[in-house]
Structure 1
């Protein structure tokens, strides 16, 4: 929670001014009923106009100053809340970029969206209310009771009895409301998750005619959110009618006892009016207090969720570059590498030992689930090996500055991600300061030049969301150009040519030979693998065979079946060999 408060204390001067202005408003509200009592008892009852004008003028002047203080207080409260929300969103967004794969697993995309939008907004609103009315309301209740007792303790005794009971009730409502709104936020996460999944898989849903099923699934989660929200709001809304009932009853009792005391000489008319005025202000403060409890209950639930992300320790410092980029191909050594995903029951990789020379091209074959992608993701430390060690360029992978390591790598994932920007911007996303000549060279190597020339705006053609307007092969080649533009020392291609025809793929592989980099290529095509310097075969997370195309064709039954099934066009045999 201290980390959350640190975002507010950056604006301590504005916080101090807002609190000072709020205290001035509070003092004015507590003093005005006293002035009113004086004006009634010494002016109206005594029929002295000068006294009425004197106290009336003071009340008018103080009210005007209070009004100005209220406007200034709102300005500073808004300044603190808006800037805190801005800083918090920026910090959380940046932090989410540095989460390890294991840490990111604990926060789904929909949950992070809710955190950065709804939860931050709840905190932002609560900060504004805190500086504007949240502290003022309880202080007004306490101050109102104290001032009423000072005016006439016997008449004000009624307030002293009922106010503590109402405060205890409100505190109980706060605790219960926090639990309910925490459940509401969880329900909101699930609704956001459903929306996110459905938008991402819209084509698949239509193709499988599953719209009705997904609609029912969304409706179920949406209904659960509505039910829990109504339940929470219903509980919180019960507070106001009860508060009004108790306070109106208290005011009636004050008027009745006050009349009795006036008749017996135990109180003056102005004192009773002042106490009723204090009771009315306390009732208004209790109403505000109930609104505060509603906001604070939500904020408390949101703060708990935000603190979970704030408390996550990430390796941010090591992401600042500390050395010039490497421009040569780097060797990679793997010594008994093991890896297991969090909560998995078995290893994804087991005792992988191999030496990759600088500039070599390694083709990695294997059935689905054999560990090909898992191995590639260990190189840029998207995951960390759970056993063994990886040495890149003569240095243990953990000795590398994380940014320096990743800047030496060009990574093309299996699932291509394109942004809603131009073709040029998607390519230069791999190197921010790239020149147009570098963009053209990367596009040429990725066999994109003719494709881009055929587009209406060339390199300035805007890619639709997630690249839906492009073919699978076009998206893969843009992703490859993005990796090549940085002239990487290590190039990782995770089944990145699967959508390319044989001619385009051959031209691409020929172009890659001109790049000074060590290449690891996951593929299921023998025609691709045979052009590599070495071929690895993975099975159940183990490196079972290595060698050139000729060596494996002579010694590996798996490779022989795969080669024969593809060269003879035996589709059924191809499926059998892969699965």
Structure 2
């Protein structure tokens, strides 16, 4: 847990102050039984009112001192815990952002969300409890034993009888708790995953009338979570009864022996009351261990899950590399004998792919579903590293580029349009920081969406609903394209990004893009779109089976000829 709790270091001084204040509270708590003993022995038994008032004032002063220390301790403890949680959450998020796509796919999105929310909250709460009461409980036990021994060693011995047993018992329960709550957090991941999938597909669920099925699926994972949580808590619930039985037995023995000592004149009544008081404080502290162990076990399991993220070294993006761009190579792309398979699989998605694209050219990429089109495009901005071969962008191997520079040269529009909650202007300008409204409008006009946006009551300030639910499929695609165009990149990648556009709008879009001096790679299923490209790359099961112009492929590729014939594009 060292990696997780290293984020406490910037707040060590507030934490130290909180601990010092906790020691003040501890001192007062341990002093009170002695003061009570003094009041009994020096005030009540000899009927000395002055002694009662004197020790009463001392007790009242110490009580106010403890009150002030407790309030101030809570302030500093909250500050440390909240600041720690803020820094840790940001560090985890930045770490996830640095993952390669291969590393990212190792963790379900729901699991990452749980680690960034629930797991951090568990650890944050334990940190607060540690500074407030968690460390205080064992110190109360130790301090009570020491003070009881100082008051009357013979009576205090009986309080020590159960301590070794309780320590062994608590260690066993901590280990069991960590195991059980690791399972609980994993179950919570599954609940979040099912919930996320169901909510994301809510339209599909309603269209197929699968609400009852999804409810049953959610009930199943929620039931598993409930069963494992109850199992963990039932084990933890054994702690307090066992602690109370053992401590009360020790207390009874101390009372039996102490009363005999008082009757024989070997001990004062105040001594017996003080030892009993310390025994009660020990019992209270031990009873707190039930809650402490549950919190610690959950936090330990959560901290280990977060360390799984923080300690990942392999699988994070190495961003350092070449930053200088050669002007004569801008916009060039070349694949040299590229083979690629996804991490953890043994099937080649791309096999021995070679082609090149010159500056300003438009390359259309065609092929059946699963041919490797989107995978090929993902190698250009280096979302993945190739298994074999080399990919060149702007004259250099993508592995040698500084990642920020490489991706800054590319405008990427994925297959599935992704819009963020916020205004239209924010969504378009997301592609370029600090973009002016004029730049946003120019990009939107080029993407053939400006007129539609202007027709909205709030124009570019129109709020986009979750995942763009208040926009049509074509509007979302064009806004995604505008977001890429505003970057003014050397290379524009469109991964089947015009599938929802009508013929007229798509034609206007291609005419507008033709004015750009940008190299374009376009995945499309439409021959009418591909035929205007400078070159067409035809893929089949991850292999290049055709490369050339529309006319060249019509005469030299049976597969392309079939595709064209099916779309009635043969002249």
TM-score tier (shorter): over 0.9
Q: Secondary structure at the match of 1:352?
A: strand
Q: How does 1:88-237 map to 2 (within 5 A)?
A: 88-237=88-237
- 1:291 pairs with 2:291: yes
1:573 corresponds to: none
Q: How does 1:460-499 map to 2 (within 5 A)?
A: 460-499=461-500
Deviations 1:223-266 (A, max 9, x none): 11111111111221222223223222322222221111111122
How far does residue 305 in structure 1 lie from its aligned partner after superposition? 0.4
Q: Is the 8 A contact 1:18 1:131 kept in 2?
A: yes
Deviates more, 1:312-321 or 1:2-11: 312-321
Deviations 1:415-463 (A, max 9, x none): 1111122222111111122222211211111111222233222222212
How far does residue 57 in structure 1 lie from its aligned partner after superposition? 2.2
How far does residue 400 in structure 1 lie from its aligned partner after superposition? 1.2
1:526 corresponds to: 527
2:548 corresponds to: 547
Q: Is the 8 A contact 1:28 1:62 kept in 2?
A: yes
1:272 corresponds to: 272
Q: Residues 329 and 445 (structure 1 numbering): CA distance in 2 closer, same or farther, change over 3 Å?
A: farther
Q: Residues 459 and 307 (structure 1 numbering): CA distance in 2 closer, same or farther, change over 3 Å?
A: same
Q: Is the 8 A contact 2:321 2:401 kept in 1?
A: no
Deviations 1:468-521 (A, max 9, x none): 222211111111111001111010000111111222111111111111211110
Q: Is the 8 A contact 1:327 1:489 kept in 2?
A: no
1:575 corresponds to: none
Q: Secondary structure at the match of 1:567?
A: coil
Q: Is the 8 A contact 1:326 1:489 kept in 2?
A: no
1:252 corresponds to: 252
How far does residue 282 in structure 1 lie from its aligned partner after superposition? 0.6
- 1:459 pairs with 2:451: no
Distance 2:118 2:321 in 1: 31
Distance 1:139 1:400 in 2: 57
Distance 1:528 1:318 in 2: 35
How far does residue 568 in structure 1 lie from its aligned partner after superposition? 6.6
Q: Is the 8 A contact 1:325 1:407 kept in 2?
A: no
How far does residue 70 in structure 1 lie from its aligned partner after superposition? 1.2
Q: Is the 8 A contact 1:329 1:517 kept in 2?
A: no
- 1:391 pairs with 2:395: no
1:574 corresponds to: none
Q: Is the 8 A contact 1:327 1:487 kept in 2?
A: no
Q: Is the 8 A contact 2:415 2:496 kept in 1?
A: yes
Q: Secondary structure at the match of 2:363?
A: strand
Q: Residues 503 and 407 (structure 1 numbering): CA distance in 2 closer, same or farther, change over 3 Å?
A: same
Distance 2:345 2:372 in 1: 13
Q: Is the 8 A contact 2:363 2:522 kept in 1?
A: yes
1:368 corresponds to: 369
Q: Residues 47 and 319 (structure 1 numbering): CA distance in 2 closer, same or farther, change over 3 Å?
A: farther
Q: Residues 315 and 222 (structure 1 numbering): CA distance in 2 closer, same or farther, change over 3 Å?
A: closer
Distance 1:28 1:440 in 2: 69
Q: Is the 8 A contact 2:349 2:372 kept in 1?
A: yes
Q: Secondary structure at the match of 2:162?
A: helix
Distance 2:359 2:337 in 1: 20
Distance 1:568 1:490 in 2: 28
2:5 corresponds to: 5
Q: Pairwise CA RMSD of aligned residues? A: 1.9
Q: Secondary structure at the match of 1:447?
A: coil
Distance 1:362 1:295 in 2: 58
1:432 corresponds to: 433
Deviates more, 1:192-201 or 1:34-43: 34-43
Deviations 1:546-579 (A, max 9, x none): 000111111100111111110179xxxxxxxxxx
Q: Secondary structure at the match of 1:483?
A: helix
Q: Is the 8 A contact 2:28 2:66 kept in 1?
A: yes
Q: Is the 8 A contact 1:328 1:517 kept in 2?
A: no
- 1:49 pairs with 2:87: no
Q: Residues 92 and 212 (structure 1 numbering): CA distance in 2 closer, same or farther, change over 3 Å?
A: same
Deviations 1:49-79 (A, max 9, x none): 3333332222222222122111111111111
Q: Secondary structure at the match of 1:524?
A: coil
Q: Secondary structure at the match of 1:492?
A: strand
Q: Is the 8 A contact 2:335 2:392 kept in 1?
A: yes
2:415 corresponds to: 414
TM-score by length of structure 2 reads: 0.96
Distance 1:328 1:82 in 2: 50
Distance 2:373 2:106 in 1: 24
How far does residue 363 in structure 1 lie from its aligned partner after superposition? 0.4
How far does residue 376 in structure 1 lie from its aligned partner after superposition? 0.3
Distance 1:16 1:236 in 2: 31
2:359 corresponds to: 358
TM-score by length of structure 1 reads: 0.95
Aligned residues: 569
Q: Is the 8 A contact 1:328 1:489 kept in 2?
A: no
Q: Is the 8 A contact 2:424 2:460 kept in 1?
A: yes
